Amino acid sequence: MPDPHKLLIADLNAKIDQYFASGRNVHMVPSGTSGESLPRGMVAHHAKLRAERDRLAPTVKYLADQGKTVKEAAETMGSCAKRIRMIARENSITFGGRL
């Protein structure tokens, strides 16, 4: 019985030879780039969430300018501190206390 590992390598080499024989070339992919992406529905969902956070950003900025803490801003806006911190981070808003 032939070695399955060697069969796979031989098959892969044959496919590589066929690829180059058809006139195709190797392309350099920059580091950090991939062909993977989120499903189309998720992209729209994330864009909708980001638009909502952008809409709330001026209020967060106003509360930060008033000297409120993240927790106080979250209570005032009826949101959680984690969301307020995310809005502040995305829009370069700094609170007097800890982010």
> Could you state, in order of their start, the residue ranges of all structural domains in the chain?
39-99
Q: What is the mean pLDDT of residues 28-42?
A: 69
With 90 as the cut, is the pLDDT of residue 42 above it? no
pLDDT at 7: 93
Given a contact cutoff of 8 angstroms between Cβ atoms, the answer to whether 39 and 76 are in contact is no
Q: Got the DSSP string for 47-77? A: HHHHHHHHHHHHHHHHHHHTT--HHHHHHHH
Tens of pLDDT along 20-34? Answer: 999 999 888 777 677
pLDDT at 8: 94
Integer Cα distance of 64 and 79 in angstroms? 15
pTM of the predicted structure, to 2 decimals: 0.56
